[in-house]
Structures are given as C-alpha cells and as structure tokens.
C-alpha cells in the first residue's frame, strides 16, 4: 500500500522528546532514617527498663538492710535518747528566758566612779522595738562633778540608751548629791550567756591601812 504524498517516508526524532529525566529517590533515605530512630528508641526503652530494675533491686536491698538495722535497735535506748533530747530543748528554752544581771552590773561598775553609789535599782521589760529593759535607780554622789562624770560615761556606753539623770538634790551638810537615774539597757545585759554563768574572778591580797581608811572616808562622804 502506497503512502500518501503528504506523509514523509522517514523522520528523525528530537533528542529530548522521549527521554525521561532521573528523579531523586528520597524514599530510601527517609526509610533509613526512620529505621535508625526506631532502633534508637527501642535501645533507650531497653536501657530505661534495665536501669529501673537495677534501682528496684538496690531499693529492695536497702530496705532489707534498714529493716535489719531497726530490728537490732533497743526501744529503751531510743526512748532514753528522745527523753534526753526533750530535756535539752526544755533547758535551752529556760536559759533563753532566764534573766542574768551579771553583765548589767559589770557595765555599771565600769563607768561608775568610786564616789558614786546606787541605793536602789529596778528593771522592767520594755515593750519598745529594741526589746531592752527600762532601768530606774536612785543613788548618791559625793559631789556634782562625780555625778556629771557618771552621767557622761553612762551616756557614752552603747549598751545604755535614753540616759536621764533627774531629781538632783544637794545636801547642804556635806555637799553630797542625791539623784534619780533612768535608762534603757540593751537586751544582752540581762540575757543569760555562758560568760554570765561564770563567777567573777576573786582577787586575793592584803589591803594597806591607808587604802582601808581612804575607802572608809569615801563611803562616809557618799552617805547623805
């Protein structure tokens, strides 16, 4: 059968008409990554399971050792320890609430001249913020100079606040001065401490007759 004249008897195909372009195969890479993640998760799960079993075994061994140790304890010994602890706590509370005046008298003696004497002293718990104690005292000084020195030294002491000397009266016979003292003592001056529980050192020695006569004359002068 003869071909029509419009149909060519031969042709040359174009180079890119029937060729297929290669495509990247991502399926294999993603599959490999997914399998890797899966195996890692399985390995982690197995590790967690094994570690949990190890912890459970360790806890069981510790519980057994604790039960064995508790079985060996003497209940009487434990009760004695508990009673001793309660006594120590009670003693600590009593010591905290105990009032010791050794530190207060030590501070007063440090600033008080030899020719000033306190006749009475009272302490009252102060409701102020510093929690100190209100001090009120009456006394006698040999003269105004001794009283002024005592007032200045006591006011300069940081352990005392609001120092006021009032009610000053001069005895015309011997020039002695009676006064009233009010102040606020720091809480540390009346609180119990290990140092306050120790007795003051005792000084031994002989007193010369001259010193004894001087002390006697000062005492007589300070008496109104």
Q: Helix 102-111 crosses helix 144-156 at what angle (to 10 degrees)?
A: 130
Instruction: Provide the pLDDT for residue 98.
Output: 63
Least confident of 103-117, 139-153, 163-177, 179-193: 179-193
Least confident of 21-25, 61-65, 177-181: 21-25
Predicted confidence band at 208 (pLDDT cuts at 50, 70, 90)? Answer: very low
Q: Give all strands (DSSP E) within the chain, no chain letters.
A: 116-125, 133-141, 160-170, 177-185
Predicted confidence band at 4 (pLDDT cuts at 50, 70, 90)? Answer: low
What average pLDDT does the structure give for the chain?
A: 75
Q: 177 near 143, Cβ under 8 Å? A: yes
SS3 category, 145 = helix
Instruction: Provide the pLDDT for residue 141.
Output: 93
Q: Which fold has domain 102-197+214-222?
A: Alpha-Beta Plaits (3.30.70)
Instruction: Provide the pLDDT for residue 203.
Output: 41
Least confident of 116-120, 125-129, 155-159, 160-164: 125-129
Burial class (CB in 10 A: 0-12, 13-18, 19+), 82: exposed
Residue 161 has pLDDT above 90, yes or no: no
Least confident of 17-31, 81-95, 104-118: 17-31
90-145 per-position pLDDT tens digit = 877 776 666 677 888 888 888 888 889 999 988 887 655 466 788 899 999 999 99
CA separation for the pair 215, 96 (Å, rounded):
39
Residues 179-189, mean pLDDT to the nearest whole number: 87
Predicted confidence band at 204 (pLDDT cuts at 50, 70, 90)? Answer: very low
pTM here is 0.45
Residue 179 has pLDDT above 80, yes or no: yes
Torsion of CA 32, 33, 39, 43, to 10 degrees: 150
Residue 74 has pLDDT above 90, yes or no: no
Residue 73 has pLDDT above 90, yes or no: no
Instruction: Provide the pLDDT for residue 20.
Output: 58
CA separation for the pair 30, 13 (Å, rounded):
39
């Amino acid at each position: 059968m003869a071909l029509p004249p419009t149909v060519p008897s031969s042709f040359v195909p174009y180079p890119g008409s029937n060729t297929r372009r290669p495509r990247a195969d991502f399926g294999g890479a993603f599959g490999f990554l997914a399998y890797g993640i899966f195996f890692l998760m399985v390995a982690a799960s197995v590790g967690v399971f094994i570690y949990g079993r190890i912890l459970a075994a360790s806890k069981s061994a510790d519980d057994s050792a604790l039960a064995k140790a508790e079985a060996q304890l003497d209940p009487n010994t434990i009760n004695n320890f508990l009673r001793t602890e309660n006594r120590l706590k009670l003693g600590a509370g009593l010591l905290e609430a105990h009032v010791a005046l050794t530190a207060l008298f030590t501070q007063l003696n440090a600033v008080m001249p030899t020719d000033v004497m306190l006749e009475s002293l009272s302490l009252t718990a102060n409701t102020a913020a510093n929690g100190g104690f209100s001090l009120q005292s009456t006394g006698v000084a040999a003269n105004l100079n001794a009283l002024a020195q005592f007032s200045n030294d006591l006011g300069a002491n940081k352990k005392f606040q609001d120092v006021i000397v009032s009610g000053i009266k001069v005895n015309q016979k011997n020039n002695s001065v009676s006064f009233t003292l009010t102040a606020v003592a720091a809480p540390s001056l009346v609180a119990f401490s290990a140092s306050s529980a120790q007795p003051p050192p005792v000084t031994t020695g002989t007193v010369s007759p001259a010193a004894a006569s001087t002390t006697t004359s000062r005492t007589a002068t300070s008496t109104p």
